[in-house]
Amino acid sequence: MNKGQAKRHSIIEAFLNVFTGMLIGFTLSHLAHIYQDVIRMYIWSGFVWNLTVGSNVLVTTVLTIASLIRSYIWRRIFNKIQLGNYRRKGRN
């Protein structure tokens, strides 16, 4: 009988998801800071630095997409781990 993900796996997955989210957020912020002149000139044309509603929506959208991709990857990894555990125990 499949009881779902173990509590230990759930907390590890949540921790890894949040921790990698922090790393990705820091990296994106750091890269934006390093390349702010290039970004401002060629990509956003000052859009982000004007802090309009549109720029806030755009930044939030980019970070949300990064978060969804990260969460999906961790979910697939932990599903694969869980499936491997069930197969080893003969619970196909």
Q: Is the dihedral of CA 27, 38, 51, 62 positive or negative?
A: negative
Q: Is the dihedral of CA 28, 18, 51, 43 positive or negative?
A: positive
pLDDT at residue 4 is higher than 80: no
Q: Tell me: the pLDDT tens digits for 46-83?
A: 554 556 667 777 877 888 888 889 888 888 888 888 87
pLDDT at res. 76: 87
User: Does the predicted model carry a pTM greater than 0.75?
Assistant: no
Non-local (6+) Cβ contacts of 14 within 8 A are: none
